[in-house]
Amino acid sequence: MAVYTQLSAEVLGDLIAQYDVGELVSAKGIAEGVSNSNWLVETTGSAANGRRFILTMYERRIDIAELPFFLGLLDHLAANGCPVPRTIHDRSGASSRMLHGKAVALIEFLPGVSVGQPTPAQSRSVGRVLAEMHAKAQDFSETRANDLDPHASARVLADCGEEALQAIDPALPAMIGVANEVAENWPQDLPQSIIHSDLFPDNVLMLGETVSALIDFYFACNDAMAYDLAVTHAAWSFSGDGRDFRPDVGRALIEGYEAVRPLAQDEREALPLLAQGAALRFISSRAQDWIDTPADALVTKKDPMDFVRRLEFYRREGKDVFAA
Amino acid sequence: MAVYTQLSAEVLGDLIAQYDVGELVSAKGIAEGVSNSNWLVETTGSAANGRRFILTMYERRIDIAELPFFLGLLDHLAANGCPVPRTIHDRSGASSRMLHGKAVALIEFLPGVSVGQPTPAQSRSVGRVLAEMHAKAQDFSETRANDLDPHASARVLADCGEEALQAIDPALPAMIGVANEVAENWPQDLPQSIIHSDLFPDNVLMLGETVSALIDFYFACNDAMAYDLAVTHAAWSFSGDGRDFRPDVGRALIEGYEAVRPLAQDEREALPLLAQGAALRFISSRAQDWIDTPADALVTKKDPMDFVRRLEFYRREGKDVFAA
């Protein structure tokens, strides 16, 4: 959560002039994104493109070669009526440009705020929009593999090593075996689309009970749609530390999803395992970040145990929770 | 430059409901302020108060007892036509509230961007607005002492100690003696008002060559107006590292100031010394921050030498630079 790069008004003004959006009026660096710098930009505007935008500078983690996939996906979904910000193309038609050696994109600003503790009604709306997104993404022409699947989670945990995991929490080393087991049993033939795969409340903007925007598609990839629902279930239906499951919020999410796209029998039966895979994806990345982050760094480390608790819950009660 | 506190949509929505500004539509944490957290907030709006605001949470450094001075000053200046954001008062009439044990204020959003390398025309505009601000602040009823005057700079440098200063740069220990000399000769009877005392380009928003806002008045205090002009001269007329003086920018600043409020003879003659005092104020605070900041902290330390170069320039050429 930072702005890694300082851009002067002069540099920003020159950049904005490359787009049909009028002249720069305001630019505030915003504290969003862990691998990007972002500015909330206001201009004098144009009829085609409006007056407010998010300017994103891609600092690290994202491979620039993948930007056409991510930005093209936003445009495809927005054009098909999904609440997703479209990218503003520059005067030459490009969806991204280079600035000081880094890729930047100008993206539509959409209103809305991220809820802290979702209500069932909000969760139902998110389920509905997620299903619509899956449906509309079916005919997007480009593809991207999921490099954070359960096989990857198992690998990441093994690479952390039992000793380092033990030092974080005595319950963590056992996750290596769990991850291998989940990966071995992972279903191969569930219906796929492009999935968001990181749809935490932070990445959903809402106005009351309505979803105004899904944002931050930088983990989007081709994978099982039911897996995306499982990720979203793990992200929305618990207190942050994973100690309290909120059955009404979880139920409303799935009901909202099925109101648009009913789950097939094999998808529903796979949910307890898919949810364990979802938990392992965050356990593994958080464990890795924990080990990689210096003890005195000024960033808040996310506790992998928040998702170990979810994983244990899904192993214990997944069959009941996801029963039709 | 960070957001130190996370506030959920629910908490922000409840807070915003205490003001006559409509309902919360958007809130983005912005990367401004070193001792505050700030959000750019949009609401459905009200006729009296508009739709966009900066929400500031006071995290540290600022004494809450001083908030009425700072916020009252904004209101006084805005009411008198200065380009300064006014504070939005809550439904009970208060200019600040407590939230989670910290003071917060909702402040008018003003457009504009901070220039990186000011032109003479921009510098002239800033001089003019600074003089207008000094004039309008004369009849503000509250007062606040300057706790960062040259005596304080001398004390801070002495407290750092020669050894620690030497470790930053061999030229720094000599600044203790310079600060004592400047403090001893400091003029006592120059005309005073409330001064901004930190008017770097970061704290001025511009639209082209027009000043749209002076912001960040949290160092404002009663002191000599010519000293504020000297601070602004040191902040605007050099390259960031202090190596290159820009005579046309410096000249335009003073011309703009004098177009509104001509300097008296004793003010003009004092400028070379006042400018040294200004440089020492930043040398001392930067040296202290340098010593207090861990070597591996993820913040950019500001080099005190940037202002040692300015100080040496003013000692060498101040008489000529500020000659009428």
A2 touches chain B (CB under 8 A): yes
CB atoms under 10 Å from CB of B306, counted, come to 18
Q: For A155-159, B64-68, B208-212, which range has the lowest pLDDT when averaged over its residues?
A: B64-68
Neighboring chain B residues of A205 at a CB cutoff of 8 Å: 26
pLDDT reported for residue B296: 62
pLDDT reported for residue A59: 84
Q: Is residue B129's pLDDT more than 50?
A: yes
Average pLDDT, chain B: 94
Q: What share of chain A is helix, strand, coil (3-state, %, to 5)?
A: 45, 20, 35
- Confirm if A304 and A287 have CB atoms less than 8 A apart: yes
CATH topology classification for B120-321: Aminoglycoside 3'-phosphotransferase; Chain: A, domain 2 (3.90.1200)
What whole-number distance in Å separates Cα of residue B32 and Cα of residue B43? Answer: 21
Mean pLDDT score, B119-138:
98
Q: Is residue B1's pLDDT more than 50?
A: no
Query: A42: nearest CA in chain B?
Result: B111
Q: Is residue A324's pLDDT more than 50?
A: yes
pLDDT reported for residue A301: 78
Q: Is residue B93's pLDDT more than 90?
A: yes
Mean pLDDT score, B229-248:
97
What whole-number distance in Å separates Cα of residue B29 and Cα of residue B40? Answer: 6
Q: How confident is the model over B250-278, as pLDDT tens digits?
A: 999 999 999 999 999 999 999 999 999 99
CATH topology classification for A9-108: Phosphorylase Kinase; domain 1 (3.30.200)
A28, A34, A52, A236: best mutation site toward chain B, by most B Cβ within 10 Å?
A28
Q: Residue A62: which pLDDT band, with cuts at 50, 70 and 90?
A: confident
In sequence order, the β-bridge partners of residue B36 are B58
CA-based torsion, B197, B171, B315, B273: positive or negative: positive
Neighboring chain A residues of B205 at a CB cutoff of 8 Å: 26
Q: Is residue A241's pLDDT more than 90?
A: yes
Q: How confident is the model over A265-278, as pLDDT tens digits?
A: 999 999 999 999 99
Mean pLDDT score, A69-74:
97
B294 touches chain A (CB under 8 A): yes
Mean pLDDT score, B25-32:
90
A79 touches chain B (CB under 8 A): no
Mean pLDDT score, A209-219:
96
Encoded tokens for B66: 């001083």
Q: Residue B299: which pLDDT band, with cuts at 50, 70 and 90?
A: low
B31 touches chain A (CB under 8 A): yes
Whole-angstrom CA distances from B151 to A7, B185, B190, B229, B284 are 36, 11, 17, 19, 11
Q: How far is A1 from chain B (nearest CA, A)?
A: 8
pLDDT reported for residue A298: 57
Q: Is residue B298's pLDDT more than 70?
A: no
Q: A5's torsion region: left (phi>0), alpha (psi -120 to 50) or beta?
A: beta
Q: Residue A1: which pLDDT band, with cuts at 50, 70 and 90?
A: very low
What whole-number distance in Å separates Cα of residue B224 and Cα of residue B186? Answer: 11
Residues of chain B with CATH 3.30.200.20: 9-108
Residues of chain A with CATH 3.90.1200.10: 120-321
pLDDT reported for residue A4: 66
What whole-number distance in Å separates Cα of residue A236 and Cα of residue B223? Answer: 54
Q: How confident is the model over A17-47, as pLDDT tens digits?
A: 999 999 999 999 998 766 788 999 999 999 9
Average pLDDT, chain A: 94
Mean pLDDT score, A96-113:
95
B34 touches chain A (CB under 8 A): no
Task: Write the DSSP symbol of residue B245.
Answer: B
Residues 35-74 of A with CB under 8 A from B: 40, 42
Mean pLDDT score, B189-205:
97
Nearest neighbour of A113 by CB, restricted to B24, B116, B207: B24
Encoded tokens for A41: 């930009």
Give the ipTM: 0.85
Nearest 5°: the CA angle A284, A289, A293 is: 155
Q: Residue A63: which pLDDT band, with cuts at 50, 70 and 90?
A: confident
pLDDT reported for residue B243: 95
Neighboring chain B residues of A27 at a CB cutoff of 8 Å: 113
- Which of the two residues, B294 and A121, has the higher pLDDT score? A121
Residues 130-189 of A with CB under 8 A from B: none
Percent of chain A exceeding pLDDT 90 equals: 89
CB atoms under 10 Å from CB of B234, counted, come to 26
- Confirm if A187 and A270 have CB atoms less than 8 A apart: yes
Is A155 strand, coil or helix?
Answer: helix
Dihedral in degrees, nearest 10, Cα atoms B168, B173, B176, B177: -160
A27 touches chain B (CB under 8 A): yes
What whole-number distance in Å separates Cα of residue A126 and Cα of residue A254? Answer: 9
